[in-house]
Chain A
Amino acid sequence: MIIKNKAIIEDDWQVLRLQDQETAEAAIVPNGKIIVPLKVWLAQRAVLQQRNDIGVWFASDERPENLAEDVHRFSVIAVDFPKFSDGRGYSIAYNLRTRLGYSGELRAIGDVLRDQLFYMQRVGFDTFEPRPDRNINDALKGFEDFSEVYQTSVDRKQPLFRRVVRQGMGAVGFGDD
């Protein structure tokens, strides 16, 4: 079960993770819908690009630019959070959405917990695989933590100060005048 667009749904994508000794070149990519490590995609691109049931996932130290124009081939891209406290995945997601223009499904995998979901959805994730030992229904509540935000990100193109009229204390001059 995963969360997609704030609903719990069945999911038939598998995530391929390399075993200790396994190299990206030698890794066997099984049949069926599978999300492979970026390394595997880059190493086996010639073969894998023939398939249309492949997704790719980023480790937190990999850079979205490495996928460059390939990004539009995928209907699923995932970003792995090895630990929830490793925040690089947030910038990877932001860059995939804004710099590379990726508009397909973007899922958070790994150490994905309720208390990070609010921020994750803001930087462009729409699909989440919460850690299996946690109650997925409970995780849904994480999206409701805040009803308003100050700054821009993927979900909000305009900051609060451009979206609403906020009251000040009356007119003051600006320093430049």
Chain B
Amino acid sequence: MYCYDEYDQRMIDERVSQYRDQVRRRLSNELTETEFLPLRLQNGLYMQIHGYMLRIAVPYGLISSRQMRMFAHIARKYDRGYGHFTTRQNIQFNWLKLEDTPDILADLATVQMHAIQTSGNCVRNITSDEFAGVAQDEVVDPRPYAEILRQWSTFHPEFAYLPRKFKIAISGAKEDRAAILAHDIGLSVGKNAQGETGFRVLVGGGLGRTPVIGSEICEFLPWQHVLTYVESILRIYNQFGRRDNKFKARIKILVKALGIDEFRRLVEEDWLNLKDGPGTLTREEVERVASFFTDPTYEVLTDHDSSLKEFMADNRNFSNWMKHNVRPHRVPGYAIVVLSVKKPGNAPGDVTHEQMDAVADLADHYSFGEMRITHKQNLVFADVKQADLIALWRELSKLELASPNIGMLTDIISCPGAEFCTLANARSIPLSKLIAERFESLDFQYDIGEISLNISGCMNACGQHHIGNIGITGVEKKNHEEWYQISIGGAEGNNCSLGKILGPSLTFHQIPEAIDRILQVYLRERIDEGERFIDTVRRIGHTPFKDHVYATDFTEEPIKPDDKDGVVAARYAVPFFSPRF
């Protein structure tokens, strides 16, 4: 993976000093909270229900065991012993003190990490394919370009105060695993007919309250031009994006308002001034950065270890895990292993400091000391020898990271929701637990097959509910009940689509039953087991699902005052300053 040189390190260290001074000035009231807010946001620091939340960048989701141990250290020393992996491949700590944050950033800088631009109206952490470099369907490894874009966007002087946040995702495989159609800029690096490397550039995608699928602005941009072209897109957005209404400030609104052709015209007019100028990438630079992403020293092996087959035949848990959590690797004899951070009953994405330390040790032992954070809030060991799979599975089972549910119903994506977030309309994590417990039976999950379920506590869509096959959004709380909307038909990947709302909203306790009814329709209507849930929805439309969900009343669960899941907790009325950023 990429390794800082003296330049990278110096910039990070200087950032820590700058931030330390900003915190000092805030604590001495030299800076008002209004002035401090955009500064702390550019360092990933949010004010949330329990105090300060820090979001640490994990560039394109790639992390070393040493860095993971640093997370464990931060969780122990400054937080309550755990951290939360997010859908943007970052990690968040929810219970920090402002005074501690400069020390935390200093600790992070010792392992080449930072929280730069993980929030605020700037270019955010760049996300990528969690299987980059090892996937069988990869055309070009996106990681060198992701790192080049990371450096380019870091402290970009012109684009630190954009109309709104700006998210870039990049993928280089045939199947898009980075949701590039749902980003402000989506980049797909590939080859043209002549075998030259270049980018398909998409712009104006995004979720949030106005979900939009990105439009193609450039079909094939030769690799040399990626930085200057992105720069021009940002310059047009910075000047013309709306600033009068923060709900209309994302680039997707600008692209819609101008139309993609006019937007492209403006971008290319600006770009003519930059094209082939000094910002153009050089072959030397791409090769230099790419040299950090070369293959580890793989052994020469073959696939199909016979002992695996035998063990699979004997052990159903193991064979389930092999089937659902292990993916084929580009190199014979190796496998990609997805660690499930979705044990039913636990909060999706939450990892304790003990788990972090243990995972770091396992990565050292089994996967060249590196791992990845996925946009589904799981972890990946990208380079595991097939012969080690049994031993690794045993270790992961002890750590409760081997639930064989990747891509299944209980592999739920959930935002932090009302217990942590001041913008929430309703809780997300308790709902995801309730759903996961109800559908815990693996036989049932395997019968349903591939499906995605995403939960957001409000329309901001941090849980990416629009692109879940089933999406759930918190819409309001009233009469001691939380109300949610269900949508179906969303999907990510090459065939990205946005879900449509099924009907009137339902309460916390009605949601699992409603999902059950949706699944019953699917089981009844599917042609055979090969037809996935999303395919059935696309084939038969919403109506059969809607009709069945709302056909009969839901049994009313009485709300007991002492039932903490039944009553919306009183701490909703947040006494803290609310960051309406």
Binding site for B on A (CB under 8 A): 63, 84-88, 90-92, 94, 98-99, 113, 115-116, 118-120, 122-123, 145-153, 157-162, 164, 166-176
Contacts and interface: CB of A to CB of B under 8 A. Distances in A.
18 contacts: A84-B35, A84-B38, A87-B161, A87-B162, A88-B239, A90-B157, A90-B238, A99-B273, A119-B155, A119-B157, A148-B7, A151-B157, A161-B284, A169-B292, A171-B291, A174-B197, A174-B286, A175-B191
A65 B410 CA distance: 56
B304 interface: no
Given A123-B158, A146-B155, A151-B156, A98 B195 contact: no
Interface in B257-287: 273, 277-279, 281-287
B22 A115 contact: yes
A149 B158 CA distance: 13
Contacts, number: 133
B408 interface: no
Interface stretch (B10-18, B76-84, B180-188, B516-524): B10-18
A82 to B, nearest CB: 10
A87 B240 CA distance: 11
B365 interface: no
B232 to A, nearest CB: 11
A87 B163 CA distance: 8
B7 A164 contact: yes
Contact of A119 (B160, B238, B285): B160
Given A98-B273, A146-B155, 14 more contacts: A87-B162, A91-B235, A120-B157, A123-B157, A146-B15, A151-B156, A152-B277, A152-B279, A158-B278, A172-B287, A172-B290, A174-B283, A175-B140, A176-B195
B155 A172 contact: no
B7 A86 contact: no
B294 interface: yes
Pick the most buried of A90, A162, A164: most chain B CB atoms within 10 A of its CB: A90
Nearest to A142: B18
Contacts of B11: 146, 148-150
Contacts of A176: 195-197
A158 B285 CA distance: 13
B494 interface: no
B330 to A, nearest CB: 15
Contact of B282 (A92, A157, A162): A162
A29 B15 CA distance: 44
B161 A85 contact: yes
Nearest to A63: B239
Contact of A159 (B238, B278, B289): B278
B243 interface: yes
Contacts of A166: 5, 7, 285, 288
A170 B295 CA distance: 13
Nearest to B38: A85
Interface of B: 3, 5, 7, 10-11, 14-15, 18, 22, 35, 38-39, 121, 140, 151-152, 154-163, 191, 195-197, 227, 235, 238-239, 243, 273, 277-279, 281-292, 294
Contact of B291 (A98, A115, A158, A172): A172
Given A91-B235, A161-B282, A167 B161 contact: no
Nearest to A81: B161
B152 to A, nearest CB: 5
A175 B197 contact: yes
Given A87-B160, A115-B22, A175-B197, A150 B151 contact: yes
B160 A150 contact: no
Given A168-B289, A168-B291, A160 B235 contact: no
B291 A90 contact: no
A27 B284 CA distance: 57
B292 A149 contact: no
Contact of A118 (B157, B162, B287): B157
Contacts of B160: 87, 90, 119
Pick the most buried of A118, A148, A150, A173: most chain B CB atoms within 10 A of its CB: A150
Contacts of B235: 91, 94
Contact of A87 (B14, B152, B238): B238
Contacts of A123: 157-158
A120 B157 CA distance: 7
B445 to A, nearest CB: 40
A132 B472 CA distance: 50
A172 to B, nearest CB: 5
B550 to A, nearest CB: 45
A5 to B, nearest CB: 18
Nearest to A161: B285
Contacts of A113: 35
A174 B191 CA distance: 13
Given A168-B291, A174-B287, A145 B278 contact: no
A17 B161 CA distance: 24
A90 B159 CA distance: 8
Contacts of B285: 161, 166
A18 to B, nearest CB: 20
Given A145-B14, A175-B140, A91 B38 contact: no
Contact of B158 (A90, A168, A172): A90
